[in-house]
Amino acid sequence: MSENETTSTEQPVRAHEPAAVRDSAAARASAGEPAGGPHAERHIRSFTPRRGRITDAQRKALERLWPRWGVAVAEGTRLDLPALFDTLPPDAPTVLEIGFGMGEATLRMAADDPGTGILAVDVHTPGLGNVLRLMEVRGLDNIRVAEGDAIILLRHMLAPASLAGLRLYFPDPWPKQRHHKRRIVQPEFLDLAAVPLAPGAVVHFATDWEPYAAHMLRTLEAHPAYENTQPDGGYAPRPDARPLTRFEGKGLDKEHRVHDLLFRRR
């Protein structure tokens, strides 16, 4: 057990409102904080900071529904997943989704599989508000929205073998060679993810950037904690459980080829 684990407090961890609502970019800049927040200079980072324009409906959803379905990403605190997903049975599986954008796929997968808890983490303010708003509209109660760096979530907040799956759809490919080190899928990231993933947990990545797909496949196949679910190796067909989103459809219209990777935690 690491030093950070010994000082952790296990609790659902909710916040009155996300940092995206509380803080403005100008306030952060005046405090001398990096544009990506206090963890922007970490070696591994799960996101490209982006705030975007937030609608009144999204802002109101953040302010009103965050105490109910929001999760504060913070070091030194361990999530109690059964308590967090208190509307599901205590033994219900939980999957982590990193980077959900406006939440189109997240919401549809939650509706199709109401017995699975989805812990969805992102820093995109409009997306956070959109998911919360549509959860209420559609009567969904099996998503919890976390605002912050997924690396902190993986490293500090999730108990070993507590996740039944990991989803990472269309992360930033960082196409320029000098930026490849910024890609989230690296051996160090897979090391972190292996700890909270239970044996047999499904790891599902998808990208429409062919060189990044090849990098993902090489990195996963080289890691001893993961095995390819495809008998002959290589990429997997898009499973029916992953819906075709408008974002993906635009890429297909441009003749982008989408690759799915389905691996399992050994």
113 catalytically annotated? no
* Structure-model confidence comparison of residues 43 and 196, the more confident one: 196
The pLDDT assigned to 36 comes to 36
**Per-residue pLDDT tens for 70-93?**
999 999 999 999 999 999 999 999
Mean pLDDT within 156-181: 96
Catalytic residue among 172, 208, 253, 260: 172
pTM for the model: 0.83
Domain extent at residue 243: 3-265
Distance CA 99, CA 106 (A): 10
Distance CA 220, CA 228 (A): 8
CATH number for the domain including 240?
Answer: 3.40.50.150
Q: What is the largest CA-CA distance in the chain?
A: 54
Is 105 a residue whose pLDDT tops 90?
A: yes
Total tally of structural domains belonging to the chain: 1
Distance CA 137, CA 134 (A): 5
